[in-house]
C-alpha cells in the first residue's frame, strides 16, 4: 500500500513555559488514496491561520493555533472513513468550524480557541443533538462522521 505523510511545523504547539516549539513529529500515516482529501482540507484549515484581527468586521481575533491544530487532528482521524468534503469556516472568537451538509443531514464540529470541541448533529425527523468535549477525542469525531456516512448510503 502506498502511503503519504503530512508534517506541519506551523501547527506544532509551543512547549509549555517556553517560547520554543515542541519538536515536530510526523503525523499518522494516511494512504495515498486519501492523502489528496486530507491535503485539500488541511490547506483550507491552515489558510484560516492567515486571517488578520477583525477579519469579520466585528473585532474577532485571528483564528487560534489551538483550534487549527485540533481541526487538523480530527481531519486526520476521519480521513480513512472517506467522508464528503466539509466546509471549513472561521468562527468569531478565534475558532474553526468543519461543516457537512448531506442529504438533509448536518454535522458541525466547532473547535474553539481553548481546545473545546462543540458539535451539532441534525437528522430529519429527530431533534438536533448537541454536545461538547473538553479534549477533542478522535473516537467521538469518528463516530459522528460514521453516522453521517451511514445516513448517506443506499
Which positions ≥6 away from 66 have C-beta within 8 Å?
13, 111, 113, 114, 115
Whether the predicted pLDDT of 26 surpasses 70? no
pLDDT band at residue 8 using 50, 70 and 90 as cut-offs: very low
pLDDT of residue 32: 55
What is the predicted pLDDT for the residue at 103? 85
**88, 111 in Cβ contact below 8 A?**
no
Residue 24, pLDDT above cutoff 50 = no
What is the pLDDT, as a whole number, of residue 38? 85
Residue 46 has a pLDDT of: 95
pLDDT at 121 over 70: yes
Cell reading at 35: 492523502
151 pLDDT band (50/70/90 cuts)? low
Which are the contacts of 89, defined by CB distance < 8 A and separation ≥ 6?
96, 97, 98, 99
The tens digit of pLDDT for each residue in 70-83 reads 999 999 888 888 78
pLDDT band at residue 21 using 50, 70 and 90 as cut-offs: very low
Q: Residue 104 class from Cβ within 10 Å (0-12 exposed, 13-18 middle, 19+ buried)?
A: exposed
Cα–Cα distance list, 40 to 15, 44, 75, 128 (Å)? 28, 6, 11, 29
In this predicted structure, what is the pLDDT of residue 97? 97
- Condensed to tens digits (0 to 9), the pLDDT of residues 128-143 reads 999 999 876 888 999 8
Q: Which of 67, 59, 83, 79 is nearest to 117 (CA)?
A: 67
Measured CA to CA, the distance from residue 87 to residue 113 in angstroms comes to 19
pTM for this one?
A: 0.76
Range scoring the smallest mean pLDDT among 32-46, 64-78, 105-119 = 32-46
Amino acid at each position: 500500500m502506498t502511503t503519504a505523510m503530512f508534517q506541519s511545523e506551523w501547527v506544532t504547539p509551543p512547549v509549555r513555559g517556553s517560547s520554543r516549539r515542541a519538536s515536530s513529529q510526523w503525523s499518522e500515516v494516511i494512504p495515498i488514496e486519501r492523502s489528496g482529501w486530507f491535503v485539500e482540507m488541511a490547506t483550507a484549515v491552515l489558510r484560516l491561520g492567515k486571517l488578520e484581527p477583525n477579519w469579520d468586521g466585528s473585532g474577532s481575533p485571528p483564528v487560534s493555533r489551538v483550534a487549527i491544530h485540533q481541526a487538523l487532528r480530527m481531519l486526520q482521524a476521519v480521513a480513512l472513513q472517506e467522508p464528503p468534503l466539509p466546509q471549513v469556516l472561521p468562527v468569531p472568537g478565534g475558532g474553526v468550524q468543519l461543516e457537512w451538509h448531506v442529504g438533509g443531514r448536518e454535522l458541525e464540529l466547532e473547535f474553539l480557541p481553548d481546545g473545546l470541541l462543540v458539535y451539532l448533529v441534525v437528522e430529519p425527523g429527530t431533534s438536533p443533538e448537541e454536545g461538547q468535549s473538553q479534549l477533542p477525542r478522535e473516537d467521538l469525531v469518528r463516530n459522528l462522521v460514521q453516522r453521517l456516512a451511514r445516513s448517506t448510503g443506499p
